[in-house]
Amino acid sequence: MAKHDPDLSLLFSALADPTRRSILTRLAQGPAKVTELADPTGLRLPTVMRHLSVLKTAGLIATTKDGRIRTCEIRPEALHPARTWLDQQRATWEARLDRLDAFVVNAMKERDQ
């Protein structure tokens, strides 16, 4: 059984909320101020701040403050472990299919002999 990786849980949990996903999609297009992110969501600022905090804790965004303006930007490398985990499941599954294929091919060879 694979060992417990807390970063993956934070990561997938952060992605589990639609508001946070929409924020990430917006930030993938380029940095944005907090209010620029909040307006399209229709949520109150403290709620958006909380969502941003979750994304920051998961390492998915970074923020910088200039005066009273806080700018958020995506950290795309943070999505890498999620993609890796998904790829690993696919690799395991496809290796299994390959083994099944080989097994079927062998079985048909022996049946033909």
Partner DNA sequence: ATCATGCTTAGCCATGTAGCTAACTAACGC
Partner DNA sequence: GCGTTAGTTAGCTACATGGCTAAGCATGAT
Nearest-angstrom CA–CA distance, 63 and 73: 6
* Contact residue for a copy of itself among 86, 104, 107, 108 (CB under 8 A): 86
Nearest-angstrom CA–CA distance, 55 and 103: 46
Please, what is the minimum distance in Å from the beta carbon of residue 100 to DNA?
23
Largest separation between any pair of C-alpha atoms in the chain: 81
The two structure tokens encoding residue 96? 């299994």
How many Å is the Cα radius of gyration of the chain?
22
Which one of 48-56, 62-70, 84-92, 103-111 is the stretch in contact with a copy of itself (CB under 8 A)?
84-92
Q: Report the residue number, 25 or 35, with the smaller CB distance to DNA.
A: 35
* Contact residue for DNA among 25, 35, 92, 106 (CB under 7 A): 35
Q: Report the residue number, 9 or 106, with the smaller CB distance to a copy of itself.
A: 9
* Contact residue for DNA among 22, 26, 34, 62 (CB under 7 A): 34
DSSP state string for 21-46: HHHHHHHHT--EEHHHHHHHHT--HH
Q: Is 45 in the site for a copy of itself (CB under 8 A)?
A: no
Q: Is 50 in the site for DNA (CB under 7 A)?
A: yes
